[in-house]
Structure 1
Amino acid sequence: RPEEMKIHFRGARNVGVEREKLLGVIAHGAHYAGWPNSMAALRVLDEVWPENAS
């Protein structure tokens, strides 16, 4: 589902959600979706929205 995550992460960025907020959501979701899925989400987030990007 990485392609869907890319769409949602870009949309969140476009409406002003902070990257740190998404990191928190991913960490919280890890307890429900599992850590492997959350690690995949982190990789997608880093691809779409690198840490050093504004």
Structure 2
Amino acid sequence: MTTIAELRNINSDSHGSANRKKINEAEAELVINSAVMLGNYYLKVNDRHK
């Protein structure tokens, strides 16, 4: 099993590499849904302070 941390390795997959780390669909959905949830939370908290 690969971890998200391994995606930002010494070879830096963000710049392209022949040895990319693959993640499964479930983990990809978890990351995307978590990012959306946190973004919504921060926006709602920010609205409270206006």
TM score, norm. by length of structure 2? 0.33
Q: Say which structure, 1 or 2, has more relative contact order (CA 8 Å, 6+ apart).
A: 1
Higher Cα radius of gyration: 2
TM score, norm. by length of structure 1? 0.31
Name the one with the larger helix percent. Answer: 1
